[in-house]
């Protein structure tokens, strides 16, 4: 038993201008305490598309709404948007985008910021919080408090937004990185000293991309998740990780950590490839439980898939003992909204 308040959390990602409930909000949808959107609100990240995404978010009845950008939400990435017109033209040709409807440069980026941030922004006025990279403490209307780490970044993908090279680590302090990683972390999950001394107090990690080997398998059979994110999760053992990005990876699974955490592949002294290999060949603890698999999306049920991690369930989430991973990408690989939202119950 963890105590706290039983809380309903609706998780979605990769809506790409579609609605997570394409047939309408179910009449029997339970009360939602917290909505989490793990990025790719849009197709091309222009200001008109961001307003379309906010139109959609306004229809979902939730007390608190948290969102992060994804690689498609282009104009929210200050590095991507500040490219030259020549760089934009090359990207358009490579990406098959016949004339991006936004504009590169600081002015358009500031206009985009004005949609999402600040007391006068549309998002804030409508009760939507766009999380910046780093730790946040979110007070819910039911009296619970959620400790959240957020990051929109994922390994580089065809020069889209919020990207880093695969050898680069955004999530760990340097002394907790894999030995051959290039550490670029500005706001890591842990500062390695003061931020999380018990290493068990993060309720939700919200990233756009998945960790390596966990709900990250593409249609071509490649594991494209981030090993540095997996290393951070292995170190800190958050209760829930929410992400998307890999549409075909939709589902829920749980890592059950062993009691003293000694059986998990160790980050210390591991290279990127040896750490990945250790998870690939793992035949003992930590145990991986598939809680929801992709075939569940074949149902025509309009409502979300329910995963009960509350103290009332037989699968209660206990801090430090398990990490539940949720790939909540709504779109399938054909960009059809056929994957169902995930509704979690958890005590906070």
At 139-162, the pLDDT tens digits run 999 999 999 999 999 999 889 999
Instruction: Work out the percent of the chain whose per-residue pLDDT is above 70.
Output: 92
Q: Inform me whether the pLDDT recorded for 6 exceeds 90.
A: yes
The answer to whether residues 77 and 161 touch, using CB atoms and an 8 Å cutoff, is yes
- Would you place residue 183 in the very low, low, confident or very high pLDDT band (cuts 50, 70, 90)? very high
pLDDT, average across residues 227-244: 96
The mean of the pLDDT values for the chain is 92
Burial tier of 221 (Cβ tally within 10 Å: 0-12, 13-18, 19+): exposed
For the domain spanning 6-347, the CATH number is 3.60.21.10
Q: Average the pLDDT over each of 40-49, 165-174, 194-203 and give the range with the smallest value.
A: 194-203
Q: Inform me whether the pLDDT recorded for 335 exceeds 70.
A: yes
pLDDT, average across residues 91-116: 95
What is the end-to-end Cα distance of the chain in Å, rounded? Answer: 11
The answer to whether residues 304 and 343 touch, using CB atoms and an 8 Å cutoff, is yes
Dist CA 215 CA 213 (whole Å): 6
**What is the torsion angle, in degrees rounded to the nearest 10, for the CA atoms of residue 270, residue 276, residue 280 and residue 283?**
30
pLDDT, average across residues 210-218: 96
Q: Give the three-state DSSP class for 136.
A: strand
Buried b (16+ CB within 10 A) or exposed e, 283-300: eeebeeeebbebebbeee
| pTM score | 0.95
The answer to whether residues 146 and 75 touch, using CB atoms and an 8 Å cutoff, is no
The answer to whether residues 150 and 133 touch, using CB atoms and an 8 Å cutoff, is yes
pLDDT tens digits for range 41-60: 999 999 999 999 999 999 99
Burial tier of 116 (Cβ tally within 10 Å: 0-12, 13-18, 19+): buried
């Amino acid at each position: 038993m963890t105590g706290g308040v039983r809380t309903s959390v609706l998780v979605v990602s990769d809506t790409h201008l579609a609605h997570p409930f394409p047939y309408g909000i179910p009449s029997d949808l339970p009360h939602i305490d917290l909505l989490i959107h793990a990025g790719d609100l849009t197709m091309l990240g222009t200001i008109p598309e961001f307003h379309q995404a906010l139109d959609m978010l306004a229809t979902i009845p939730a007390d608190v709404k948290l969102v992060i950008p994804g690689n498609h939400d282009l104009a929210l990435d200050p590095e991507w948007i500040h490219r030259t017109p020549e760089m934009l033209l090359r990207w358009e040709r490579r990406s098959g985008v016949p004339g991006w409807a936004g504009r590169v440069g600081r002015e358009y980026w500031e206009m985009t910021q004005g949609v999402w941030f600040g007391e006068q922004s549309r998002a804030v006025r409508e009760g939507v919080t766009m999380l910046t990279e780093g730790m946040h403490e979110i007070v819910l209307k039911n009296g619970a408090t959620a400790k959240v780490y957020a990051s929109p970044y994922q390994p580089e993908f065809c020069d889209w937004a919020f990207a880093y090279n695969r050898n680069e680590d955004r999530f760990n302090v340097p002394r907790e990185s894999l030995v051959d990683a290039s550490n670029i972390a500005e706001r890591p999950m842990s500062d390695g000293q003061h931020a999380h001394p018990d290493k068990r107090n993060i309720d939700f990690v919200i990233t756009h991309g998945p960790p390596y080997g966990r709900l990250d398998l593409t249609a071509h059979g490649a594991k494209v998740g981030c090993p540095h994110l997996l290393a951070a999760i292995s170190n800190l053992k958050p209760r829930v990780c929410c992400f998307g990005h890999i549409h075909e990876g939709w589902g829920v699974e749980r890592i059950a950590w062993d009691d003293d955490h000694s059986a998990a592949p160790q980050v210390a002294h591991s290279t990127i490839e040896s750490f990945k290999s250790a998870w690939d060949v793992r035949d003992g603890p930590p145990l991986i439980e598939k809680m929801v698999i992709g075939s569940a999306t074949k149902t025509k049920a309009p409502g979300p898939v329910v995963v009960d991690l509350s103290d009332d369930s037989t699968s209660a989430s206990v801090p430090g003992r398990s990490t539940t991973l949720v790939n909540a990408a709504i779109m399938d690989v054909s960009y059809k909204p056929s994957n169902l939202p995930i509704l979690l119950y958890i005590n906070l």
